[in-house]
């Protein structure tokens, strides 16, 4: 194969420009606590026919050709993004959840699907076309599907990622993504065959479910056995990264070869890698960084390159799609909340979180456009909806999750500081802190320890920067309890940055007061985002030193009003 000098030059210049502009905009959006991928999409819109392509059409055509090697790299970016989404899914967490997750997952799929199908079938302004079964099925899927990476970013930004409410949102989104991508793969296969009969749809769905089960059982077992061997016999983390990429591309090739789109195989490959107990949070973070800093920006910038908001945007359609997505998800989660005894505030917050269509809605839209299920104007409206829901979710969650009454972290921590704990593992530390809580507040130490450890098994509470926040809610608890302990050697709480926890805050809150748990955890996370505060806590040898260091901390004074 011969590649001309002009093709090499075009490829290198276009990738460089896409990466630079994407980085600038993603950093800008991140500074304002907005999802970085939205900045990358907007960077693409500015580089695309909406702005740059309109001002310099000839140079735009040369720089970003519609065919060629760049298209292949962008498609590879999509495959690896699906791997990343899959890695975020924790099957073990899904299986361990109770009534709340089941209710939220069921209704947040069922009601938005019905709403998307019915509205697109009967309102042409919504779907941008006349009655079409594939189009209505597409809108059923795009209304219900969630953007797991964007939701995770938003939950981290509003400091509720490690709370029970954050876990409900995240786990429900995992279930939605798995079901949504299975059904969408079936729809694509049906459209490819040219038959939209019910029998054809059910046949495609059956084949897709079968291959999914094979991957999640047989291949999952093989990877669980193979991963420790790779970690032991190859250089870390290179061997693990190679295994992840090769596995995902192999499964993508497998699903593509049997008529199911490659993205499903890549997604399932990510799931079985991420679900392995041998893949720790730090290794996941390295894989994510590899994808986030090259493949992801190229793909999301390419989204903007492919739309012209000047000629293809319908504000009415964009508004209608956004409205149906948000309202249907909120209604679904309010109903689920009634069934699972969640508070109105929690149910509303879950609904807002689940309405974040974001990047996944855009990816679904890309394939629907390619297969003629929707037109270019409808695709542009879906991009606008995805951006709108991603930008609105964070501020709305912050607004509705304000606690009914302020809780002073310093008052809760006073006389609850245990320096230099001589523990060798996290379970031993949890038991020691549980004994402290029993001696001071009368709660049964065994029950407290069991609740904390059970919560740890669902999702690790290491937040990084040498800090962990193990927590649980108890029926017997009437008022929140917070204990802080230090361990100079550090204990493994499976933090994303791989650092051991040297400062551990253990939080116990009342069973039915989720607001106070969210408030305390978010306040601790905000406090410990300052490395100087963490150092001051580690240096404190007595309770008085500990409280004095917190009060004199500029970071804490800004939050709690101490000083001037």
Torsion of CA 82, 87, 92, 98, to 10 degrees: -60
The pair of structure tokens assigned to 6 is: 């002009």
Q: Which residues contact 146 (CB under 8 A, 6 or more apart)?
A: 173, 176, 177, 180, 354, 356, 357, 358, 360
Pairing state of beta strands 481-491 and 462-464?
Answer: unpaired
How many CA atoms lie less than 13 Å away from 135 in the CB half-sphere? 21
- Please tell me the number of Cα atoms within 13 Å of 111 on its side-chain side: 22
| Active-site entry in 2, 471, 512, 555 | 471
Measure CA of the first residue to CA of the last residue in the chain; give whole Å. 70
Asked if residue 237 has a cis previous peptide bond (ω within 30° of 0), the answer is yes
Bridge partners, 510 (sequence order): 474
448-473 burial, b for 16+ CB within 10 Å, e for fewer?
bbebbbebbebbbbbbbbbbbbbbbb
270 with 83: CB under 8 angstroms?
Answer: yes
d(CA 491, CA 468): 9
Segment (H or E) for 485: strand 481-491
Spatial distance between the Cα atoms of 196 and 371, rounded to a whole number of angstroms: 13
**Residues 6 or more apart from 512 whose CB is under 8 A from it?**
343, 473
3-state SS record for 234-293: CCCCHHHHHHHHHHHHHHHHHHHHCCCCHHHHHHHHHHHHHCCCCCCHHHHHHHHHHHHH
Helices (H), 355-375: 358-370
2 classed as catalytic? no
Would you call 436 helix, strand, or coil by DSSP?
helix
Would the CA dihedral through 431, 435, 436, 442 be positive or negative? positive
Q: Give the burial class of 67: count Cβ atoms within 10 A of its Cβ; 0-12 exposed, 13-18 middle, 19 or more buried.
A: exposed
Which 3 state secondary structure label does DSSP give 137? helix
Cα torsion 7, 8, 13, 16 to 10°: value is 130
In contact, 533 and 553? CB cutoff 8 Å: yes
Radius of gyration of the chain (CA): 25
554 burial class (0-12, 13-18, 19+ CB within 10 angstroms)? exposed
Please identify every residue annotated as catalytic. 471
């Amino acid at each position: 194969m011969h590649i001309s000098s002009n093709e090499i030059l075009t490829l290198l210049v276009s990738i460089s420009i896409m990466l630079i502009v994407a980085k600038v905009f993603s950093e800008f959006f991140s500074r304002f606590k907005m999802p970085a991928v939205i900045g990358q999409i907007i960077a693409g819109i500015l580089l695309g026919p909406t702005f740059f392509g309109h001002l310099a059409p000839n140079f735009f055509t040369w720089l970003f050709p519609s065919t060629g090697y760049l298209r292949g790299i962008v498609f590879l970016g999509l495959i690896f993004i699906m791997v990343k989404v899959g890695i975020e899914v924790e099957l073990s967490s899904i299986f361990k959840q109770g009534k709340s997750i089941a209710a939220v997952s069921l209704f947040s799929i069922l009601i938005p699907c019905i709403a998307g199908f019915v509205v697109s079938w009967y309102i042409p302004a919504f779907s941008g076309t006349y009655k079409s079964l594939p189009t209505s099925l597409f809108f059923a899927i795009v209304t219900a599907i969630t953007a797991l990476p964007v939701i995770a970013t938003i939950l981290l930004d509003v400091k509720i990622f490690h709370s029970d409410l954050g876990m409900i949102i995240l786990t429900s989104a995992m279930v939605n993504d798995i079901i949504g991508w299975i059904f969408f793969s079936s729809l694509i296969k049906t459209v490819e065959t040219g038959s939209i009969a019910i029998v054809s749809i059910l046949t495609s769905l059956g084949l897709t479910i079968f291959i999914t089960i094979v991957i999640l059982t047989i291949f999952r077992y093989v990877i669980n056995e193979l991963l420790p061997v790779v970690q032991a016999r190859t250089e870390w983390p290179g061997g693990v990264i190679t295994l992840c990429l090769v596995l995902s591309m192999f499964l993508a090739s497998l699903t593509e070869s049997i008529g199911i789109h490659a993205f499903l195989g890549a997604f399932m490959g990510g799931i079985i890698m991420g679900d392995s107990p041998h893949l720790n949070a730090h290794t996941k973070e390295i894989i994510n960084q590899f994808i986030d800093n090259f493949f992801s920006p190229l793909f999301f910038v390419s989204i903007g390159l492919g739309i012209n908001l000047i000629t293809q945007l319908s504000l009415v359609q964009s508004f209608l799609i956004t409205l149906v997505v948000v309202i249907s998800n909120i209604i679904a989660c309010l109903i689920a909340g009634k069934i699972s005894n969640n508070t109105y505030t929690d149910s509303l917050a879950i609904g807002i979180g689940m309405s974040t269509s974001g990047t996944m809605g855009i990816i679904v839209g890309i394939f629907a456009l390619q297969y003629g299920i929707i037109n270019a104007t409808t695709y542009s409206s879906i991009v606008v909806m995805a951006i709108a829901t991603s930008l609105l979710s964070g501020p709305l969650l912050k607004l509705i999750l304000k606690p009914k009454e302020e809780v002073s972290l310093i008052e809760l921590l006073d006389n609850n500081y245990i320096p230099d704990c001589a523990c060798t593992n996290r379970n031993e530390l949890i038991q020691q802190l549980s004994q402290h809580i029993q001696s001071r507040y009368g709660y049964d130490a065994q029950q407290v320890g069991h609740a904390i450890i059970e919560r740890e098994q669902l999702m690790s509470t290491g937040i990084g920067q040498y800090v962990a926040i193990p927590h649980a809610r108890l029926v017997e608890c009437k008022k929140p309890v917070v204990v802080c302990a230090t361990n100079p050697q550090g204990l493994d709480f499976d933090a994303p940055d791989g650092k051991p926890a040297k400062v551990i805050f253990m939080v116990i809150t009342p069973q039915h007061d989720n607001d106070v748990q969210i408030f305390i955890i978010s306040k601790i996370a905000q406090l410990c985002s300052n490395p100087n505060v963490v150092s001051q806590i580690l240096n404190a040898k007595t309770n008085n030193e500990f409280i004095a260091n917190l009060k004199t901390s500029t970071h804490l004074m800004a939050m709690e009003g101490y000083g001037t």
